[in-house]
Structure 1
Amino acid sequence: MNTHHALHAFDNGQALATALSASIAGKLRDAIAARGEALMAVSGGSTPKRLFEVLSNETLDWPRVTVTLVDERWVPDTDERSNARLVESLLLQRKAADAEFVPLYTEAATPEAGIGEVRTRVAALKQPFDVIVLGMGPDGHTASFFPGGDRLSEALDASNSVLVLPMRAPGAGEPRITFTLPVLLKARALYLHIQGDDKRDVLAAAEQPGSALPIASVLRADRPLDIYWCP
């Protein structure tokens, strides 16, 4: 494992969610204390559901926190597949209900058609992000960096100054919108949240020299990464 990585292993999802939530809340408090506000991007899928519920009960100055997504399916938040819907229903509740949410989806027909509006939105965010929480799929994707993605090389280009890109890939289902790798790597605190022995195996494969799995681009970066895992 990269010497910049810290692996935090837990017996179950509740213990993981409690510990990760506490760490994230601490980073957000530090950001608010230092700069008067905090900026966080989270991932969708099924893995973070318990984390969102725990994090929504953390005591901090939520009106000073802006939340967005690492990536999004190009569907409205009325769709069950929407990451925004997940965040709105589980994270932006209880104490966290006063946080500001910046969605990546627009009503344009495609992410390519809506990319201009999305870029305007995210350019207004005071980056770098204070906290980014990544997930990882069984195919080794993180964010919307899917194997075979039509903009994958562009999204992973360390010299790319573009903040967000459309992405289409055979394994992605819907068209997507995603932050690019340079944005993720500039985060003040970067987390990878994974569950299951299968994900641990994918992670081990991605850590091998020369791995072509998209998550490997994050793992190879010369920066701290906190990995939270449970079976």
Structure 2
Amino acid sequence: MHRHAYPDIESLSQGFADFAATTLKNTLTRKPQATLVVPGGSTPRHYLPALAKCQLPWDRITITLSDERWVDVNNEQSNEQLVKKYLMAHLPPNTSFIGLKTQHENPFDAVDTIHQRLDQLPSLSLTVLGLGEDGHIASLFPGINPDLPSNHHCVAVAPPIAPSLRVSLSLKILAESEHIALVVTGKNKRLLLDRLNGHSDSGIPLTWLLQRASSPITVFETNTE
């Protein structure tokens, strides 16, 4: 991990936005299209608007999600709703977005359809992830078998403690991203990063990603509570 600490969420958001914009521009010097993966949660409400202000050829960038709660896309718990409000609403109207939610009753029935959507994308250029205090990334939680073979780019998940089912990009497709950024706030999450820096823990999903990622993970963290 390459860790970058900031004194507050505002400076973190700007540092992240600068990194993301540079990364995407560099990709577009080599390829006609780029793919940006973003998470849900509370922290993206700060840094997604900062990213939206960056001058990028957004018509050449497709945006999708790292994971999604199985709720209506207009529900306040929907990651799609959050990303559309804090990022897409501030971008040119021709910017492409690929959501993960379908009309299926549950994500287990939707995996084939979501895989087909994701299969149309170029390789993932930049994947942005958050981190749970239990070490989960996207909706890959402790207790899931990271080595479970799958022919899909996504997995359906019934989280151990959560009000809704979820769908998540698979560990394989996340690990194959050209660049991975991890945005972390809060003391407990920083302590978890400190611990994993010295001792890998095979029960922690972030460890699974660190062991499989094709490139170093760039961490953006606040050094305050």
Q: Given the two structures, how large is their TM-score scaled by the length of structure 2? A: 0.92
1:138-149 maps to which residues of 2 (within 5 A)? 138-148=133-143
Deviates more, 1:208-217 or 1:102-111: 208-217
Q: Distance in 1 between matches of 2:68 and 2:58?
A: 23
Give the alignment partner of residue 163 of structure 1, picking from 146, 153, 168: 153
Change over 3 Å in CA distance of 1:158–1:97 after alignment to 2: farther
Match of 2:120 in 1: 124
CA-CA distance at 1:202 after TM superposition: 2.0
Residue identity opposite 1:25 in structure 2: A
1:28-177 maps to which residues of 2 (within 5 A)? 28-95=24-91, 97-127=93-123, 129-148=124-143, 152-153=144-145, 156-157=146-147, 160-177=150-167
- 1:224 matches 2:216: yes
CA-CA distance at 1:161 after TM superposition: 4.2
Question: 1:133-170 CA distances to partner (integer Å, 9 max, x unpaired)?
Answer: 0110111111111123xxx21xx228644211101122
- 1:202 matches 2:192: yes
Match of 2:174 in 1: 184
Q: Distance in 1 between matches of 2:159 and 2:138?
A: 13
Residue identity opposite 2:95 in structure 1: A
Q: Which SS does the other structure have where 1:220 is aligned?
A: helix
Give the aligned length.
Answer: 221
Please list every run of at least 4 consecutive aligned residues from structure 1 whose deviation after the TM superposition is greater than 4 angstroms: 158-161
Question: 1:89-119 CA distances to partner (integer Å, 9 max, x unpaired)?
Answer: 0011223543211000001110012222111
Q: Which SS does the other structure have where 1:193 is aligned?
A: strand
Instruction: State the superposition RMSD in angstroms.
Output: 1.7
Q: Distance in 1 between matches of 2:33 and 2:192?
A: 35
Change over 3 Å in CA distance of 1:108–1:50 after alignment to 2: same
CA-CA distance at 1:6 after TM superposition: 0.8
Unaligned runs of 5+ in 1: none
Change over 3 Å in CA distance of 1:217–1:84 after alignment to 2: same
Q: Distance in 2 between matches of 1:210 and 1:131?
A: 25
Deviates more, 1:43-52 or 1:88-97: 88-97
Would the aligned equivalents of 1:41 and 1:70 in 2 still touch at CA under 8 Å?
yes
- 1:215 matches 2:211: no
Residue identity opposite 1:219 in structure 2: L
Q: Distance in 1 between matches of 2:70 and 2:125?
A: 25
Among all aligned residue pairs of Structure 1 and Structure 2, give the percentage whose two residues are the same amino acid. Answer: 29
Q: Distance in 1 between matches of 2:196 and 2:149?
A: 22
Q: Which SS does the other structure have where 1:25 is aligned?
A: helix
Q: Which SS does the other structure have where 1:118 is aligned?
A: helix
